[in-house]
Amino acid sequence: MPRTPLIAGNWKMVLDHQQGTLLVQKLDWTLKDAKHDYSAVEVAVLPSHTSLRTVQTLIEGDKLSVRLGAQDVSEHDSGAYTGEVSAAQLAKLGVAYVAVGHSERRQYHGETDAVVRAKTAKALAGGIVPIVCVGEPLEVRKAEQHVEHTVGQVTQALTGLTAEQVAGLVLAYEPVWAIGTGEVATPEDAQEVCSALRSAVAEQFDQTTADAVRILYGGSVKPANIASIMKQPDVDGALVGGASTDAGDFAAIVRFR
């Protein structure tokens, strides 16, 4: 079965709930004007936790086809974890996707592969599709260890899951040196790693699972480079940071064809 492309916008800590609402409204108007087929290209936004309720109300009230995502989830179920937000709390807000293991969480919050694995499992148990982010820092790329590095991160994150769970989740290859830098990996760079990740899933699980799992590219995606990235056979979409906070740019990325 063909994999439906997913374009997900990670707003990071940039937009407040009012700006987020405005952006989703503008995005939906623009896509409807362009007769965007949401069943052919799925669109998701990942606001800050503080904006989830407002954006959910808009999406549900106006019956928009934009899916709601979150930027992080707790590795715990419930209890005395000040500042944390659980998968159950996110699910109750209609959150369909959650990013786990984003390089900014790994870098600034010390998230290890074990934490990423725990968060991935919690998201799945809560009925939320995890977008498991992996990617190599510049020194690893320079040492030509990027494939081993990212395959290792994916293998760790998926350990203990069933093939069925893995088939339904999303991986995102985001080279750290390309995030927010304007430095984009070439389409061939993206394909090399996305293809290696798919093969790793086939090895860890089976080919059917590998054929089903969606793999996104992320790192300075813009309207000008999305088409060539999406032409790569193992790239099933994009995780977009900076450019997703502008409705016009994000709509242009969604309409990459």
Binding residues for ligand PEP, rule CB under 6 A, total 13
- Asked if 174 touches ligand PEP (CB under 6 A), the answer is yes
The answer to whether 21 and 247 have CB atoms below 8 angstroms apart is: no
How far is C-alpha 146 from the geometric centre of its chain's CA atoms?
Answer: 19
In the set 102, 104, 111, 136, the catalytic residue is: 102
Distance from C-alpha of 168 to C-alpha of 187, rounded to nearest angstrom: 25
151: phi > 0 → left, psi -120 to 50 → alpha, else beta; which?
A: alpha
Site for ligand PEP (CB under 6 A): which residue of 81, 114, 139, 180? 180
Among 110-118, 121-129, 146-154, 216-224, which window interacts with ligand PEP (CB under 6 A)?
A: 216-224
For this structure, is 174 an active site residue? Answer: yes
- Asked if 221 touches ligand PEP (CB under 6 A), the answer is yes
- Residue 9-48 contact track with ligand PEP, rule CB under 6 A, x = bound: -x--------------------------------------
Residue 219 marked ligand-binding:
no
Both tokens of residue 137? 């820092």
Angle of CA points 105, 137, 168, to nearest 5°: 60
Nearer to ligand PEP, 60 or 183 (CB): 183
For this structure, is 148 an active site residue? Answer: no
Residues linked to residue 257 through DSSP beta bridges, in sequence order:
none
Distance from C-alpha of 255 to C-alpha of 227, rounded to nearest angstrom: 9
> Do β-strands 67-70 and 42-46 pair in parallel, antiparallel, or remain unpaired?
parallel
Distance from C-alpha of 237 to C-alpha of 204, rounded to nearest angstrom: 23
CB of 203 to ligand PEP, least distance (A): 26
Residue 180 marked ligand-binding:
yes
Nearer to ligand PEP, 27 or 167 (CB): 27
Instruction: Show which residues are catalytic.
Output: 102, 174
* Residue ranges that bind ligand PEP, judged by CB under 6 A: 10, 174, 179-180, 218-221, 239-243
